Structure 1
Amino acid sequence: MGMDFGILKLRAGAKHHEVTARETAIVLLGGRVEARIAGNLFGAQRGSLFDEGPTTFHVGAGTSVELRADAGGAEFAVIRAVNPRPLPVRVYTPAETATEDRGAGLAQGACRRLVRTIFDYSTRPDSTLVVGEVVNFPGRWSSYPGHHHAQPEIYHYRFTLPQGYGHAEIGESVFKVRHGDTTTIPGGLDHAQVSAPGYGMYYLWVVRHLPRRPYKGFTFTREHTWLLDPKNQGWQPSV
């Protein structure tokens, strides 16, 4: 995949320090944290993945990073990739991460979801990564119609309740995904997601650029593109 993904959990008052060996993106998933990045102090908090946007610390190799959790502890997603280019420190706040209401008016609302792109090639061209989040409404689809791109991708899932679940299509395979699961999507495979009724689904998504082929968008699965026209809502029951 060309990238590493992991979850960092800090107990109340605990501290994590490292000097990064690779490009690193650290997304706050929950809690309150004090961060010292390259000597500069930042504060951040997040109470809900579903109702609040992310704070993300994005740094290049050789950067000093110190994270200290507040009384309630803190949790982070950490993504790393090799990047020989210098990468200035960026801290993306919730206010800087726009939320896009995507899929409204299509397929009788069955694929409406919220998409948050934290950074991509247009805003961070020296990065090797693209990072964002999706909030999938209960019983609805996201990344739909299915789509594909040449670059590999990672999804990490959370649900509004710990027993929540959904299904992930990757190529011709379908996987049941639960709270805390992570999937890897090889380049070129169509993929789409659906959440079980009653359970909101969140996933963090990370795309890795390919050499001389950065990720700039995706291609929809051809046979389902007719659904992109709001005039084509699909079959509707008469009852």
Structure 2
Amino acid sequence: MTTDDRTRGNAGDDDVNDVNDVNDTHVRAGTAARGPYALDIDPKRAGWSRSSLRVLELAAGGSQLLAAGDSEWIVLPLTGGCTVLVDGEIIELRGRDSVFSGVTDFAYVPRDAHAQIASGAGGRFALAGARCERQLPARYGPAPEVPVELRGTGNCSRQVNNFAAADTFDCDRLIAVEVLTPGGNWSSYPPHKHDEHRPGEEAELEEIYYFEIEGREVAESYGGGGEGLGYHRVSPSRPGGTDVLAEVRSGDAVLIPDGWHGPSIASPGHTLYYLNVMAGPGDERQWLIRDHPDHGWIRDTWPAQPVDPRLPLYGPEDPR
């Protein structure tokens, strides 16, 4: 099992940005940085065929060119706003103060396009990507149209911002959502998987989890300090499959090529955020999962419990 050994993943200078040299599954903040990107995971680095994620950090007045290549991309503000110039169209993204303050608008950049991302005030922007075949038009995704779902009840309650779920926004291959888990709760639970093609039951999808954690200010108000943390589990679904228990902090990512994934655990006092980026080889773009047979029963308990009263943390039209 891979555990959270903070000395692991310090690659040599020549390979510091190679995810497979850093850690096959748990990518710690800063270990997969490249150029302007605080995180840069592409299919080659992940050792798979479709899914990508970059986190772009721009200073005030900064800009960055994006060559889409054979992938479609969504530009999703994490903090701050930006403009995306693509196919001669300027898409203005209002963005948000943080991932904990509101739903954001976003921009879709098609494959083979060239885009420029610019920010007057600066910010951090996730670029979720997937290798694809169809070239769809560049588009704006308004924040008020993002479906906000409350999933689970009791201490399994979480909020899901379905900005690019398979049934909410048209992409060729890319599926992406945001999940917010209040402190003390479990999400990505029951453990589930999507590493096989089973028509009508399960879709094969490569997945990236990108984490941020809220709560330093709350801790300091009580005389504490330090960044929050969370935990994420992936257990094998086949002999020799992915097996990791990761202590995750802001800026970390976990790669899931296979396996039962979950739970994601938020420590008390710290809301846990993660961005899920998925893509797969199937003919249909769909999110079909199978629950772990030992734990799927937990869903049957949800109707008898209330949703955590802390949710929703915000709605699609809340101020940012």
Both structures adopt the same fold (TM-score exceeding 0.5): yes
User: Which deviations, in whole Å up to 9, do the C-alpha atoms of 1:162-206 show, x marking residues without a partner?
Assistant: 611100011153111011101101234333200111111100001
CA offset at residue 24 of structure 1?
1.5
Residue 141 of structure 1 is matched in structure 2 by 186
Structure 1 residues 164-183: aligned runs within 5 Å: 164-171=228-235, 172-183=243-254
Please give the TM-score of this superposition, normalised by the length of structure 1: 0.87
Higher strand proportion: 1
Note if contact 2:215-2:269 (Cα within 8 Å) is conserved in structure 1. Answer: no
Matched residue of 2:297: which SS?
Answer: helix
Note if contact 1:209-1:215 (Cα within 8 Å) is conserved in structure 2. Answer: no
Separation of aligned partners in 2, 1:126 and 1:144: 26
Separation of aligned partners in 2, 1:7 and 1:99: 23
Aligned residues: 228
Residue 38 of structure 1 is matched in structure 2 by 87
Residue 154 of structure 1 is matched in structure 2 by 208
Counterpart check, 1:54 vs 2:111 = no
Structure 1 residues 1-239: aligned runs within 5 Å: 1=48, 2-21=50-69, 22-43=71-92, 44-71=94-121, 73-104=122-153, 109-124=154-169, 126-150=171-195, 151-161=205-215, 163-171=227-235, 172-212=243-283, 214-230=285-301
CA offset at residue 152 of structure 1?
1.5
Matched residue of 2:190: which SS?
Answer: strand
User: Which deviations, in whole Å up to 9, do the C-alpha atoms of 1:5-53 show, x marking residues without a partner?
Assistant: 2210110011122342121122111112122232222222211212311
Note if contact 2:133-2:172 (Cα within 8 Å) is conserved in structure 1. Answer: no
Separation of aligned partners in 2, 1:117 and 1:123: 7
Separation of aligned partners in 2, 1:50 and 1:199: 11
Distance 1:126 1:28, change over 3 A: closer
Unaligned runs of 5+ in 1: 234-239
Residue 236 of structure 1 is matched in structure 2 by none
Separation of aligned partners in 2, 1:190 and 1:8: 27
Note if contact 1:138-1:197 (Cα within 8 Å) is conserved in structure 2. Answer: yes
CA offset at residue 125 of structure 1?
5.5
Note if contact 1:137-1:201 (Cα within 8 Å) is conserved in structure 2. Answer: yes
Q: Please tell me the residue identity of whatever aligns with 1:57.
A: A
Q: Please tell me the residue identity of whatever aligns with 1:207.
A: M
Q: Please tell me the residue identity of whatever aligns with 1:85.
A: R
Bigger mean CA deviation after superposition, 167-176 or 15-24:
15-24
Note if contact 2:51-2:206 (Cα within 8 Å) is conserved in structure 1. Answer: no
Separation of aligned partners in 1, 2:127 and 2:170: 20
Distance 1:118 1:29, change over 3 A: same
Note if contact 2:190-2:298 (Cα within 8 Å) is conserved in structure 1. Answer: yes
Separation of aligned partners in 2, 1:59 and 1:24: 5
Q: Please tell me the residue identity of whatever aligns with 2:76.
A: V
CA offset at residue 213 of structure 1?
5.7
Bigger mean CA deviation after superposition, 55-64 or 170-179:
55-64
CA offset at residue 69 of structure 1?
0.8
CA offset at residue 141 of structure 1?
0.4
CA offset at residue 124 of structure 1?
4.7
Unaligned runs of 5+ in 2: 1-47, 196-204, 217-226, 236-242, 306-320
CA offset at residue 207 of structure 1?
1.0
Note if contact 2:188-2:261 (Cα within 8 Å) is conserved in structure 1. Answer: no
Q: Please tell me the residue identity of whatever aligns with 2:62.
A: A
Separation of aligned partners in 1, 2:300 and 2:129: 38
RMSD: 2.0
Distance 1:212 1:70, change over 3 A: same
Matched residue of 1:144: which SS?
Answer: coil
Note if contact 1:16-1:67 (Cα within 8 Å) is conserved in structure 2. Answer: yes
